[in-house]
């Protein structure tokens, strides 16, 4: 169960309309390595995790990713809330405008709609944790690329914060991997799947 706190995890205060920047940043809402994908990935994987502490971590990081989605959406909103038709036409925002006006819709920078195909829930603890480690790295790359491309300080500050979170989450998933390895056969980590072969998982413990 979730409850709402009426504030952003990191403040967003963007004063200049810039549909071009909005179009780039929206990828972290609905793109392949975006925050929506991240939250759904972790919150889907947690149910069958064999290590209870890892299930707890996935809940907490998955929850934080929803906060990040809210930060990204707030940035897109503030970059486009005073959009004029002329700005939409010239900034490459025209095709988005036709379908969504200045409303929020999860898509990648290139216009590809959000899809659950962009993340996995594999029912295998090692496969899922390696996906999570990779996901944090890919999101970091997107933030690096956005920081290379965007100069406006009021846009860069939240992007820098979000980039830093990817590195912290990578560290925590790495620690979750170590906790999961403790539950496996140390001579052969691939001998059984602790999410499915439960009797063997109990024996190994």
Partner 1 sequence: MSDICCNALAMATVPIQEWCKPYDWKTALKNGTIFPSLNLEFYKAEQINNPSSAPTGQESALNEISEIGFAINDLTLYLDTHPDCPKGLSLLKELLEKRRTLLADYAAKYQPLTQLSMITGTPETNVYGWAEGPAPWEGGNV
Cβ–Cβ under 8 Å, residues 183 and 193: no
Among 17, 77, 105, 120, binds partner 1 (CB under 8 A): 77
Give residue 51's region: left, alpha or beta (phi > 0; psi -120 to 50).
Answer: beta
Q: What's the closest the beta carbon of residue 6 comes to partner 1, in angstroms?
A: 5
Q: 80: which 2 tokens?
A: 């486009």
Q: Does 179 bind partner 1 (CB under 8 A)?
A: yes
Q: What is the CA radius of gyration of the chain?
A: 19
Q: Rule CB under 8 A: which of 102-131 touch partner 1? A: 130
Beta carbons of 5 and 62 less than 8 angstroms apart: no
Interface segment toward partner 1; rule CB under 8 A; list 25-33, 108-116, 143-151, 195-203? 143-151
192 is a contact residue toward partner 1 (CB under 8 A): no
Among 101, 115, 144, 202, binds partner 1 (CB under 8 A): 144
- 94 sits near partner 1 (criterion: CB under 8 A): no
Nearest to 51 by CA among 164, 191, 202, 203: 202
The CB-of-190 to partner 1 minimum distance in angstroms stands at: 8
Verify binding: residue 139, partner 1, rule CB under 8 A: no
State the first-to-last Cα distance of the chain, in angstroms, to the nearest integer. 31
């Amino acid at each position: 169960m979730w409850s709402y706190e009426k504030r952003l995890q990191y403040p967003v205060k963007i004063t200049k309309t810039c549909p071009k920047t909005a179009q780039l940043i929206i990828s972290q809402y609905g793109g392949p390595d975006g925050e929506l994908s991240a939250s759904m990935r972790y919150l889907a994987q947690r149910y069958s995790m064999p290590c209870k502490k890892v299930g707890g971590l996935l809940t907490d990081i998955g929850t934080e990713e929803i906060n990040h989605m809210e930060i990204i959406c707030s940035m897109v909103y503030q970059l486009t809330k005073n959009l004029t038709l002329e700005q939409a036409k010239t900034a490459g925002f025209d095709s988005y405008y036709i379908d969504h006006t200045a409303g929020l819709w999860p898509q990648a920078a290139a216009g590809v709609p959000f899809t659950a195909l962009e993340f996995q829930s594999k029912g295998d603890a090692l496969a899922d944790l390696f996906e999570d480690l990779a996901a944090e790295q890919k999101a970091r790359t997107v933030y690096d690329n956005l920081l290379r491309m965007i100069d406006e300080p009021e846009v860069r500050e939240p992007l820098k914060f979000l980039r830093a979170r990817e590195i912290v989450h990578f560290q925590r998933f790495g620690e979750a991997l170590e906790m999961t390895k403790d539950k496996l056969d140390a001579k052969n980590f691939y001998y059984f799947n602790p999410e499915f072969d439960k009797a063997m998982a109990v024996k190994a413990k």
